[in-house]
């Protein structure tokens, strides 16, 4: 596997930088009136493992719906993307969906998965490299929500952003990301998965699964703070709390303190009142037209759209 495109000089430097970013983000977020933690830090090795389990849950429709769409529409998607493309995936995850797209593309020039969880990313990239030995794989350990500088392969760049991760951003954050993506992918385009507005009961079940995997995933960010930041969060003293906010068309995920308590984090003391929450994630839902308007504002030209029969989920091809 080539190391082309890696943004950090060494694994030690890479790990130290991410750890420092985590500490700064946690301390800053816990000082706010509404305490919060950035959801991108869910994805350490254990968080990535738990999210893979979430994707297989019967209540969690997005992954299976999007995967089915990619399989059924693979030829049409490949036709829209065209030949000789370099596929850049933002937030690579398990790489399973990228395998579907790469398998359908004609003469893909390279695959560049970008993710913040380095060990997990490299492990999954090796698996995909074995499955597609003719496609060079260049994993990049980085925060894709920030400006990126990638080594050019000379091929037309096509972005891939599945999983409706765009929903984790506020509208301003989504617009900023899409604008950066439009500049990075100029001359190519972006294939993006977008979760749609639907019955709130379906959404509630998806984020409050009976097996408690989403609860474990949510609490893992506290476990990560305990491990990496010398914190002493008692995970049993916090409850998973997720609900649909129709005014903002989003699922909100929180961790609720079940008692008055004080927690040590990176040398600081953080006080919690009983019932106070840490806001850990938003998952915004879009209408098809609402997302197309956002894409246009960001500088893309919306083209094809694919949805499942129940209109739970959508895939958009945007030209840059």
Q: DSSP letter string over 186-200? A: TTSEEEEEEEB---H
Predicted pLDDT of residue 19: 61
What confidence category does residue 17 fall into, taking pLDDT thresholds of 50, 70 and 90?
Answer: low
Whether the CA torsion 254, 176, 121, 149 is positive or negative: it is negative
DSSP 217-238: HHHHHHHHHHHHS-----GGGE
Q: Can you give the pLDDT at residue 15?
A: 44
Mean per-residue pLDDT over the chain, rounded: 92
Residue with tokens 């930041």: 229
Q: In this predicted model, what pLDDT tens digit does every residue of 71-122 receive, in sequence order?
A: 999 999 999 999 999 999 998 866 789 999 999 999 999 999 998 778 878 8
Quickly count: other Cβ atoms within 10 Å of residue 66's Cβ: 25
Distance separating alpha carbons of residues 113 and 127, to the nearest angstrom: 13
Which token pair is 303? Answer: 């083209």
Q: Which helix (H) or strand (E) holds 302?
A: strand 301-307
Distance, in Å, from the CA atom of 194 to the CA atom of 73, rounded to the nearest integer, reads: 15
pLDDT band at 295 (very low <50, low <70, confident <90, very high): very high
Extract the tokens encoding 198: 């639907």
Report DSSP state, residue 59.
T
Q: How many CB atoms lie within 10 A of CB 304?
A: 15
Would you give the DSSP letter of residue 278? E
Backbone angles phi, psi at 106, to 5 degrees: -95, 120
CA distance 300 to 320: 5
Could you report the per-residue pLDDT of 36-47, keeping only the tens digit for each?
A: 999 989 988 899
3-state secondary structure of 293: helix
pLDDT for residue 119: 80
**Tokens (6 digits) for 219:** 């609490």
CA atoms within 13 A on the CB side of 199: 7
Distance CA(291)–CA(123), nearest Å, equals: 33
Domain residue limits, the chain: 34-58+199-284
Which helix or strand (DSSP H or E) is residue 104 part of? helix 96-104
Question: The sheet that has 85-90: what strands, in order across it?
Answer: 140-141, 110-115, 85-90, 156-161, 189-195, 313-319, 301-307
Give the residue from 78, 49, 54, 74 showing the smallest Cα distance to 64.
Answer: 54
Query: Given the DSSP bridges, would you call strands 301-307 and 313-319 parallel, antiparallel or unpaired?
Result: antiparallel
pLDDT digits (tens, 9 = 90+) for 243-269: 999 999 999 999 999 999 999 999 999
Query: Looking at residue 3, what is its pLDDT?
Result: 30
Instruction: Indicate the burial class of 9 (C-beta count within 10 angstroms; 0-12, 13-18, 19 or more).
Output: exposed
């Amino acid at each position: 596997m080539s190391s082309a495109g890696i943004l950090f000089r060494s694994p030690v430097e890479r790990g130290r930088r991410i750890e420092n970013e985590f500490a700064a983000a946690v301390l800053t977020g816990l000082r706010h009136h509404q305490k919060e933690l950035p959801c991108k830090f869910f994805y350490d090795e254990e968080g990535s493992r738990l999210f893979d389990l979430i994707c297989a849950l019967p209540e969690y429709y997005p992954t299976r719906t999007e995967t089915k769409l990619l399989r059924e529409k693979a030829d049409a998607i490949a036709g829209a993307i065209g030949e000789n493309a370099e596929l850049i995936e933002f937030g690579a995850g398990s790489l399973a969906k990228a395998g579907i797209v790469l398998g359908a593309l004609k003469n893909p020039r390279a695959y560049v998965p970008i993710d913040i969880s380095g060990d997990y990313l490299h492990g999954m990239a090796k698996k995909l490299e074995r499955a597609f030995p003719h496609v060079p794989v260049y994993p990049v350990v980085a925060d894709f929500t920030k400006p990126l500088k990638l080594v050019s392969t000379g091929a037309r760049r096509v972005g891939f952003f599945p999983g409706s991760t765009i929903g984790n951003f506020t509208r301003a954050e989504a617009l900023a990301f899409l604008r950066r993506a439009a500049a990075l992918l100029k001359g190519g385009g972006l294939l993006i998965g977008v979760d749609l507005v639907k019955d709130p009961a379906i959404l509630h079940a998806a984020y409050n699964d009976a097996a408690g995997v989403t609860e474990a995933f949510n609490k893992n960010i506290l476990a990560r703070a305990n491990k990496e930041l010398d914190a002493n969060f008692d995970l049993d003293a916090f409850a998973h709390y997720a609900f649909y906010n129709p005014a903002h068309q989003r699922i909100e995920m929180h961790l609720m303190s079940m008692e008055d308590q004080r927690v040590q984090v990176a040398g600081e003391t953080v006080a919690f009142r009983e019932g106070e929450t840490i806001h850990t994630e938003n998952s915004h839902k879009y209408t098809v037209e609402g997302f197309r308007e956002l894409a246009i504002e960001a500088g893309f030209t919306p083209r094809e759209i694919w949805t499942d029969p129940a209109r739970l989920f959508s895939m958009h091809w945007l030209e840059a």
